[in-house]
Amino acid sequence: MSDTKSGFLRETAQLAGAVYRAMRVTFVNLMRKPVTVHYPDKPRVYPDRYRGLLALTYHPDTGEENCIGCRLCEFVCPPQVIQVEMLKAEGRNYAKAFTLELYACEFCELCVQVCPTDAIIMMKSFDMATADRRELLLDKDRLHQIGEQFEASWATGNRLRDMQAPPKKPVAEKAASPAADAGGEA
C-alpha cells in the first residue's frame, strides 16, 4: 500500500473516531433532564455562605445604623473600593459618608470579617446587572436599601471571628481538673 493511501485511511479512521465520540456525548445528553433554571421567574436557591452584593445593616431592635464609621473595612479592602467618613457623636460614632465601588470589588469578604458591629454584610443575590458603571458606585443609602431588599448571607464579622477562635474547653472538664490546669501552666 502506498504512503498516500495509508495516510488517507489513517486520517479517515481518526475523523470517524472523533465524530463517534462527539455524537456519543450528544446522544447521552439528549436523554438527560434539562438543567436550565428559568431565572428570574424561578429564583435560584443559593448556599448560606454565598458572597453576593454588599450591604449595610440597621440594628434590629433600635433601628439605628450599625456602622460606627471605624474605617476598618476601608483599611482592609485589597482593591481599596470602600471610603468611609466618620461622624463623631455622643455615645457612639456614625458613618457620615460611606461609598463602595462595587464594580471593582473582589467579593473577598474581608470587610465583613473585620467589621466589629456586623454593619457590613453580603447578600444572597447578585441582581444588579447594569450597563452603567455609575449605578455600581453605592452610597450609604443604597447600601442600606440593598440590605433591606435581599436575603442576607450567613456570615457576619462576629460569626466569622467566633469560627476562627481556638475551641473553648468544656465547662465540666475545666471544673474537674483545676489542679492539672495550674500544674500545666507552672
Tell me the window of 42-50, 112-120, 129-137, 162-170 that interacts with ligand SF4 (CB under 6 A).
112-120
95 part of the interface to ligand SF4, by CB under 6 A: yes
Tell me the window of 10-18, 116-124, 134-142, 144-152 that interacts with ligand SF4 (CB under 6 A).
116-124
Closest CA relative to residue 117, chosen from 101, 138, 91, 93: 93
Closest approach of ligand SF4 to the CB of residue 154, in Å:
15
Of residues 50, 52, 55, 72, which one binds ligand SF4 by CB under 6 A? 72
Give residue 107's identity as a one-letter amino acid code.
F
Contacts of 143 (CB under 8 A, 6+ apart): 54, 55, 56, 98, 100, 120
Of residues 46, 58, 70, 160, which one binds ligand SF4 by CB under 6 A? 70
Residue closer to ligand SF4, measured from CB, 133 or 169: 133
Tabulate helix, strand, coil % of the chain (nearest 5): 40, 15, 45
Closest approach of ligand SF4 to the CB of residue 20, in Å:
48
**Rounded CA gap, 74 and 35, in Å?**
40
123 part of the interface to ligand SF4, by CB under 6 A: no
**Rounded CA gap, 155 and 48, in Å?**
8
Q: What residue ranges bind ligand SF4 (CB under 6 A)?
A: 54, 67-73, 76-79, 81-82, 84, 95, 100, 105-111, 114-115, 117, 119-120
